[in-house]
Amino acid sequence: MSRKAIYPGSFDPITNGHLDILDRSLTLFSDITIVVAGTEKKNPLFSVEERVELIREVTSDRKGVKVDRWPGLIMDYAKKHDVSAVIRGLRAASDFEYEFMMASMNKQINADVETIFMMTSQDLYFVSSSMIKELFRYGGDVSNYVPAGVTQRLKRRIKTEAPDGKR
């Protein structure tokens, strides 16, 4: 039986909440590939290539973690790479309905892959990539919610976008 899992998402940018889920998942799986979705549906701040590079930087010290990108169905990726589980993080009850429907569809596509839901730690349940970008754009301190490398990338990317002109 494979102990390989994938952790798919947009990760725009990766947050400490994502890393919390990853670290706890590493106690269950020996190999986890973070799969960056290539979707433009969410109007990303960072390109797929930038997100892959940033995730590699912030996870380089974690054994058993790889980073990849995939533009198609995640179940096709799972089949191609002999993956037994998909890891999904849940922040609040509002996430569950969408994630449940996606997991149900994925099970129809590939019955051999299980979806594992993990609750984000209580001190991070309110953190989302969208909120991080918004907070940062308006001059808020995001350092408690993202790795240092993410803060540096945000500064370079958003420096001219802040409404007060201070960045």
Catalogue the active-site residues.
18, 42, 91, 129
- The 3-state DSSP class for residue 153 equals helix
Say if CB 157 and CB 149 are below 8 A apart.
no
* Of residues 61, 3, 63, 59, the one with CA closest to residue 35: 59
C-alpha to C-alpha distance for 136 and 49, rounded to whole angstroms: 21
The SS3 call for residue 29 is coil
Contact 117, 40 (CB under 8 A): no
The residue count of the chain comes to: 167
Give kind and range of the element (H or E) at residue 55: helix 48-59
- Give dist(CA 167, CA 137) in Å, integer: 9
